[in-house]
A and B are shown apart, each in its own frame.
Chain A
Amino acid sequence: MSFEVSIQHRVGERAINLAFVSEERLTALVGPSGVGKTTVLNCIAGLARPQRGRIAVAGEALFDTGLGLDLAPERRGAGYVFQDARLFPHLRVDANLRYGERLAQSGRRWIGHADVVEFLGIGHLLGRWPATLSGGETRRVAIGRALLSAPRFLLLDEPFASLDAERAEALMTLVERIRDELAIPILLVSHDRGEVDRLAGRVVTLR
Chain B
Amino acid sequence: MPDEWSVVALSLRVSLLAVALTLPLAYALAWLLARRRFPGAILLDALVHLPLVVPPVVTGWLLLVLFGRTGPIGAWLEAQFGIVLVFRWTGAALAAAVMALPLMVRAMRLSIEAVDRRLVEAARTLGARPWRAFATITLPLSLPGIAAGAMLGFARSLGEFGATITFASNIAGETRTLPLAIYSGLQLPGAEAQVARLSVISIVLSIGALVISELLVRRAGGRRAHVL
Contacts and interface: CB of A to CB of B under 8 A. Distances in A.
B132 A78 contact: no
Interface string B35-72: 00000000000000000000000000000000000000
Contacts of B141: 89-90
Contacts of B128: 74, 99, 103
A186 B141 CA distance: 32
Given A89-B141, A90-B141, A103 B126 contact: yes
A74 B129 CA distance: 6
Contacts of A100: 126-127
Interface in A74-103: 74, 76, 78-80, 82, 84-90, 99-100, 103
A199 B65 CA distance: 72
Interface residues of A, number: 30
B125 A130 contact: no
Interface in A31-82: 45-47, 72-74, 76, 78-80, 82
A78 B128 CA distance: 12
A89 B226 contact: yes
Nearest to B133: A74
Nearest to B141: A90
Nearest to A85: B228
B84 to A, nearest CB: 44
Interface residues of B, number: 21
Given A86-B118, A88-B119, A88-B137, A73 B124 contact: yes
Nearest to A76: B125
Given A99-B136, A103-B132, A86 B228 contact: yes
A63 B116 CA distance: 26
A53 B96 CA distance: 54
Contact of B122 (A82, A90, A138): A82
Contacts, number: 70
B124 A74 contact: yes
Q: Which of B123, B124, B127 has the most chain A CB within a 10 Å cutoff?
A: B127
A146 B126 CA distance: 7
B173 interface: no
A150 B127 CA distance: 9
B126 A84 contact: no
A84 B228 contact: yes
Nearest to B132: A103
A21 interface: no
Interface of B: 116, 118-119, 121-129, 132, 136-137, 140-141, 223, 226-228
Which 8 interchain pairs have the tightest Cβ spacing?
A131-B226, A100-B126, A103-B127, A73-B124, A86-B122, A80-B125, A149-B126, A89-B227
17 contacts: A45-B125, A73-B121, A73-B125, A74-B124, A78-B125, A82-B118, A86-B122, A86-B228, A88-B123, A89-B226, A90-B140, A99-B128, A100-B126, A103-B128, A130-B228, A131-B227, A145-B126
